[in-house]
Structure 1
Amino acid sequence: MTESDPATRSRDRRDPDRLIRRAGVRGDPDRDQHFLVDDRVLDRVPTYLPDDADASHVLEIGGGTGALTDRLLRVADRVTVVERDRALAAFLREEFAADVDAGRLDVLEGDALELTLPDFSACVSNLPYGVSSEIAFRLLPLKRPAVLMFQREFAERMSAEPGTSEYGRLSVGAQHYADVEVVEIVPPEAFSPPPAVESAVVRTTPRDPDYVVDDEEFFLRFVKAVFTQRRKTVRNGIRNTAHISGLADPDAVVDAADEEYLRRRAGDLAPDEFAELARLAAVHGRGEGDG
């Protein structure tokens, strides 16, 4: 990726601490506001997009005071920022007025879980950690490359492999849509105010899974159900969670499934094995009226 606008290239990068002072705000942990202020991390984050990523229209969720926005305007043709804080949204429009006037920056005020998102080409964001899962699973099905900041624990669960303690329904769900990589660990002192935990930058590269799922909603619900019983065998997990998966006849699924799957635990099943079990469950365990 290259810096796309001569005027932007010639301008010094905005200092994140000065942006906070100009905005007249402080980060508020109670509102999930932790501003990324480490220049080195800010400079690196956009570079984690895949080399072939389309940077014609980059989405940023949680613009804050604009330190990352400033970096994104150097590599993208156009940036759309979603910011739920009214005062910060107004500050971004003022601080980046030249880019707004040039049609290179749009600032949408509101909740990223409720707004209609634009047709963006990639997403780079320091997400509000309290809604990480909800936002991630709004973005992942859209099949756009993304670089996202999460709490480290959440990031490691997203990218975890079967058989590890971190592996769970988050891993299966995220990796159903994309290759997921933790590309950098970020210490608390990179933020203002520092969060109580380490953070991590995650790159998601969209791809189709190497298995077939006919009913994605049921597949993800089935995975969620079985993982609620992760300490039990898959056999017992299927039987005990029909109220979550929506199965009308879980015993029929157990009877149809391979014993090699049933005697294992959820954390030992790869996504393609979950897909096979979900296919059997849909055929043998759902009532006639289930879609």
Structure 2
Amino acid sequence: MKTVRPKKNLGQHFLTDLNIAKAIADTVDACPDIPVLEIGPGMGVLTQFLMEKDRLLKAVEIDSESVEWLNSHYPALRENIIGDDFLRMDLSSLFDGRQFVLTGNYPYDISSQIFFKMLDNKELIPCCTGMIQREVAQRIASAPGNKSYGILSVLIQAWYDVEYLFTVNENVFNPPPKVKSAVIRMTRNSTEKLGCDEALFKRIVKTVFGQRRKMLRVSLRQIMGDKAVAQEFWQHECMTRRPEQLSVAEFVELTNLVDAELKSAV
């Protein structure tokens, strides 16, 4: 079988530099002794180094041509190559309920969706590593006060410690993407509960960053709706701030403030 043709509709950019592939594979060592799930192995440039880790490895690939290639070239992994869409998979049954490391050279156009699914399954995924578009990596790792700080920053940093590991240039891919890439690692922090209504927390973060240039007293009106909100609520000191100025802890405080007002307002 000839090499797999990169498919634009699947966002495939195959890594060709073996040194970088090995460096990405080595990022999973920060969370040892548990299985690894690789997303989008393509022709296995990263897979071959993950197989050397002497731990249970499964790979999920949506492209049937790539699945055929992997089965042909990595027969030892054949039973653990899953031809499926990661975003539609039930992760709780993947390793019989065991925790696992998530890794891969993630398709740029669905990387955010992958990480939202990671958050939905955070008790199963204590560590997530891999390569994504540099801009997205910078966003995830960004601290409050930066222009790149946003929804992904807050929601991921609430549950994970984020490390921006290294940048990858365009010329080590086939075909070369139009942007630079970056490798990151996210490791579950000690937070078990946020200390607020977590569904409301997520809703507030998404709502206020949807109008990130506006003060909170403006963007929060979408959530408060037509309720008779006390004037004191709108006079709270945080209401004149913009969302990128709030830390995760301050978003938790804001959520509790909103929650209390929603319950007391008519």
Work out whether the TM-score is over 0.5: yes
TM-score (norm 2): 0.88
- 1:202 alignment partner, SS class: strand
The residue that corresponds to 2:161 in the other structure is: 179
Q: CA deviation at 1:55?
A: 4.0
1:109 to 2:83 alignment: yes
Q: 1:223 aligns with which of 205, 218, 227?
A: 205
Matched residue, 2:176:
194
Partner of 2:260: 283
Q: What is residue 67 of structure 2 aligned with on the other side?
A: 89
Equivalent residue of 1:195, what SS? coil
> SS where residue 52 of structure 2 aligns?
coil
Using the alignment, how far apart are the partners of 2:263 and 2:112 within structure 1?
A: 28
* Structure 2 letter corresponding to 1:72: L
Paired position in structure 1 for 2:13: 34
Q: How far does residue 48 in structure 1 lie from its aligned partner after superposition?
A: 2.0
Instruction: Say yes or no: does 1:63 pair with 2:45.
Output: no
Contact 1:65/1:91 (<8 A) preserved: yes
Closer/same/farther in 2, CA of residues 139 and 210 from structure 1, 3 Å limit: closer
Change (3 A) 1:270 1:211: farther
Corresponding residue of 1:146: 128
What is the one-letter code of the residue matched to 1:127?
A: Y
Identify the residue that residue 7 of structure 1 maps to in structure 2.
none
The CA distance in 1 between the partners of 2:257 and 2:226, in whole Å, is 12
**CA RMSD between the two structures:** 2.2
CA distance 1:227–1:99, shift in 2 (3 Å): closer
Q: Which moved more, 1:214-223 or 1:257-266?
A: 257-266
The verdict on how the C-alpha distance between 1:193 and 1:285 changes in structure 2, with shifts beyond 3 A counting, is same
Match of 1:98 in 2: 76
Cα deviation digits, residues 172-230 of structure 1 (max 9, x gap): 01111201111010111111111010001110011134973332222111111011121
1:127 to 85, 103, 106: 106
Q: CA 1:258 to 1:212, structure 2 compared with 1: closer, same or farther past 3 Å? A: farther
**Runs of at least 5 residues in structure 1 that lack an aligned partner in the other structure:** 1-21
TM-score in terms of structure 1 length: 0.81
Could you tell me which residue of structure 1 aligns to residue 146 of structure 2? 164
Task: Tell which deviates more after alignment, 210-219 or 78-87.
Answer: 210-219
Whether the 8 Å contact between 1:248 and 1:287 is mirrored in structure 2 is no
Q: What SS does the corresponding residue of 2:142 show, helix, strand or coil?
A: coil
Structure 1 range deviating more: 260-269 or 58-67:
260-269
For 1:17, the equivalent position in structure 2 comes to none
Q: Of 48, 54, 68, which residue of structure 1 is paired with 2:27?
A: 48
Aligned sequence identity (%): 33
Task: Tell me: CA distance 1:248–1:280, structure 2 relative to 1, closer, same or farther (3 Å).
Answer: same
Contact 1:57 1:76 in 2 (8 A): no
Cα 1:58/1:151, change in 2 over 3 Å: same
> Secondary structure of 2:167's partner?
strand
Counterpart CA distance in 1 for 2:194 and 2:226 is: 23
Q: Aligned residues, how many?
A: 257
Residue type of the alignment partner of 1:198: K
Q: Counterparts in 2 of 1:244-263, with a 5 A limit?
A: 247-248=224-225, 252=229, 255-256=232-233, 259-263=236-240
Q: CA deviation at 1:260?
A: 2.3
Q: Which runs of 5+ in 2 are unaligned?
A: none
Tell me by how many angstroms 1:108 deviates.
0.7
Comparing 106-115 and 29-38, the one that deviates more:
29-38
Residues 123 and 146 in structure 1, CA contact (< 8 A), matched pair in contact too: yes
Q: Distance in 1 between matches of 2:216 and 2:198?
A: 20
Q: Partner of 1:49: helix, strand, or coil?
A: helix
1:233·1:264 contact (CA, 8 Å) conserved in 2? yes
Contact 1:86-1:109 at 8 Å conserved across structures: yes
